[in-house]
Amino acid sequence: MPQQIKRLISAFAIVILLFLVMQQVLKPSSFGVSGHYRFLAIQENKLKELQYAGSESCIKCHEDIHIEKSDGYHAQLKCEVCHGPALRHVMYADKFENEELPDSLKLNKPDERKDCAVCHRINAARIKITFDTIDNSMIKQVDPMKHNLVHKKTKVELKCIECHYPHQP
Amino acid sequence: MSLSSSTMKQHKSNISRRDFFKAGTFIVGGIAVTSVFTPFNGILFASEAPKGKGKWYGIGIDISKCIGCGKCANACKLENNVPQEPFYFRSWVEQYTIKNDGSILVESPNGGIDGFMQSVPDEEIFKSFFVPKMCNHCAKSPCVQVCPVGATFETDDGIVLVDETYCIGCRYCVQACPYGCRYIHPEKGTVDKCSLCIHRLEKGLQPACFEICPTEARILGDLNDPDSNINSFLKNHTCMVVKPHLNTGSKLFYNALSPEVR
């Protein structure tokens, strides 16, 4: 074998050996367990903190509202749709059953016109949508800047919830 | 010059027709045989979407039920600490308006979180509808294929995830995703995308956007289970994926999807 080929082979062998050693040192142990990725990354993704509690946990304490809501137009709306993420609220209530909830953990009660308008503002894309759960009724739509903006007699500005109780609209 | 051309001639005449066919058959046959095995299954990969071994998540979205409240986009941001700026989204809603003159208008003010204002008067509208968008959790994800460091991957149950500690923020996947479902997190400097709320699935809860949808327009289930809710959704509706020609193996199936949706 010519001299230069021998040298080349030895040079390649050294590089490959170095690569294998470095791969052993640098590669995380879970890499390649189930594909070209670090398997432990799945566990790390699963460890993230939750915010939304899920409707089941609301019913535990607020069953009265659940019953009240159950035959209205908002029956299939879960509590957190309007009141926001509730996990910390639920966890505190679970832990200190008889204590008053601190203000920071109280959930918001959206009562502005714009809060209702998110779903009920008149829109061409919304007009045909029907719900088979509530006898094929269409979603009620209004122009929030026109629909009974002020009281007819007193001329005081009205909020939606003054006429439509959100749990039984 | 004369020497090299003569040696080439010499070399050429050394291969008989028989040898050529022998070698050719060996090479082509070898490629065909090895391509059957998993590390070389390029042909199979392109022709057929993988189906997973155990659980294989599929998503159904019913466009005919979406009222465009944007609660899903809001819930996703709150659940996953997505920056509140109006250009970072894991999940968002678009309003498509097709006008009488055939032009298409796509709007998504703040991802739909603050609600939609109809910007085209009724008499100019041919049709209008809302399209909730999110990661398609493709079985043949272009974003996974381009990642140079193995920081994004498909899990065995069909969820496309990001390994934040491995991501180098090269943005390759951001431009590779045909659905625009990835962004670079401004604080972390790494890519961020829908994880199908794997941290919620783990605890037996629905992902935030599925949990919150007031009209139950979103369905999540196991495509490998014939009795799952996603399979009955696919059975009872005429479903389609977005950009099927890209062969991404998308597992987000839309009911009532218009061809205008991109």
What CATH code is carried by the domain that includes residue B206? 3.30.70.20
Distance between CA atoms of B173 and B166, rounded to whole angstroms?
14
Chain A neighbors of B114, CB-CB under 8 A = 114, 118
Residue B237 C-beta-side C-alpha neighbours within 13 Å: 22
The structure tokens 């894309």 sit at A125
Chain A neighbors of B79, CB-CB under 8 A = 50-52, 85
- Residues A86-135 have pLDDT tens digits of 999 999 888 887 778 888 888 989 999 999 999 999 998 886 666 655 56
Q: Are residues B154 and B168 in the same domain?
A: yes
Q: Residue B31 in 3-state DSSP?
A: helix
Q: Are residues B40 and B154 in the same domain?
A: no
Find, in chain A, the residue whose alpha carbon is nearest to that of B151. Answer: A37
- As to burial, measured by CB atoms within 10 angstroms (0-12 exposed, 13-18 middle, 19+ buried), residue B64 is middle
A123 touches A140 (CB < 8 A): no
Domain assignment of residue B78, given as a range: 51-93+133-262
Sign (positive/negative) of CA torsion B92, B98, B104, B109? negative
Q: What phi and psi values does residue A157 have, to the nearest 5 degrees?
A: -60, 135
Task: Give the per-residue pLDDT at A10.
Answer: 96
Q: Are residues B31 and B143 in the same domain?
A: no
Per-chain mean pLDDT for chain A: 88
Distance between CA atoms of B149 and B168, rounded to whole angstroms?
8
Chain A neighbors of B151, CB-CB under 8 A = 37
Distance between CA atoms of B88 and B129, rounded to whole angstroms?
23
The structure tokens 């080439």 sit at B8
Task: Give the per-residue pLDDT at B13.
Answer: 62
Q: Is residue B190 part of a domain?
A: yes
Q: Is residue B195 part of a domain?
A: yes
- Residues A12-28 have pLDDT tens digits of 999 999 999 999 999 88
Task: Give the per-residue pLDDT at B1.
Answer: 46
Between B27 and A71, the more confident residue is B27
- Closest C-alpha among B145, B70, B142 to residue B110: B70
Q: Are residues B179 and B258 in the same domain?
A: yes
Q: Are residues B185 and B232 in the same domain?
A: yes
Whether A81 sits inside 8 A of B71 (CB atoms) is yes
CA dihedral B56, B57, B63, B67 (to 10 degrees): 170
Q: Is residue B98 part of a domain?
A: no
A89 touches A105 (CB < 8 A): yes
Q: Is residue B84 part of a domain?
A: yes
Helices (H), B39-116: 42-47, 71-80
Q: A77 to chain B nearest CA, in Å?
A: 5
Q: What is the CA radius of gyration of chain A?
A: 30
For chain A, the residue count is: 169
Q: How many other C-beta atoms can be found within 10 angstroms of the C-beta atom of residue A104? A: 8
Chain A neighbors of B95, CB-CB under 8 A = 123, 125
Q: Are residues B62 and B185 in the same domain?
A: yes
B248 touches B142 (CB < 8 A): yes
Identity of the residue numbered B92: W
Of the candidates B79, B96, B166, the beta carbon closest to that of A51 is on B79
Q: Is residue B208 part of a domain?
A: yes
Task: Give the per-residue pLDDT at A130.
Answer: 63
Q: Are residues B149 and B262 in the same domain?
A: yes
Task: Give the per-residue pLDDT at A135.
Answer: 60
Residues 10-69 of A with CB under 8 A from B: 31, 34-38, 41-42, 44-52, 54-55
- pLDDT (tens place) for every residue of chain B, 262 residues total: 445 555 555 555 678 899 999 999 999 998 888 777 766 667 777 777 778 788 999 999 999 989 999 999 999 999 999 999 989 999 999 999 999 999 999 999 999 999 999 999 999 999 999 999 999 999 999 999 999 999 999 999 999 999 999 999 999 999 999 999 999 999 999 999 999 999 999 999 999 999 999 988 999 999 999 999 999 999 999 999 999 999 999 999 999 999 999 8
ipTM: 0.86
Q: Are residues B160 and B206 in the same domain?
A: yes
Q: Is residue B221 part of a domain?
A: yes
- The DSSP letter of residue A47 is T
Q: What phi and psi values does residue A8 have, to the nearest 5 degrees?
A: -60, -45
Identity of the residue numbered B184: I
Sheet (strand B125-134) strand order: B104-107, B91-99, B125-134
Q: Are residues B189 and B169 in the same domain?
A: yes
B203 touches B189 (CB < 8 A): no
Q: Is residue B108 part of a domain?
A: no
Helix (H) or strand (E) holding B137: none
- Please list, residue by residue across B184-201, b when 16 or more beta carbons sit within 10 angstroms of its beta carbon and e when fewer do: bbeeeebbbbbbbbbbbb
The structure tokens 């180098």 sit at B168
Task: Give the per-residue pLDDT at B176.
Answer: 96
Q: What phi and psi values does residue B197 have, to the nearest 5 degrees?
A: 45, 55
- The domain total for chain B is 2
- Closest C-alpha among B262, B213, B195, B248 to residue B67: B213
Q: How many other C-beta atoms can be found within 10 angstroms of the C-beta atom of residue A109? A: 11
Q: Are residues B186 and B62 in the same domain?
A: yes
Q: Using pLDDT thresholds of 50, 70 and 90, give the confidence band for residue A150.
A: confident
Of the candidates B78, B114, B199, the beta carbon closest to that of A45 is on B199
Q: B67 to chain A nearest CA, in Å?
A: 5
Q: Are residues B40 and B70 in the same domain?
A: no
Q: Are residues B163 and B85 in the same domain?
A: yes
Q: Is residue B30 part of a domain?
A: yes
The model carries a pTM of 0.85
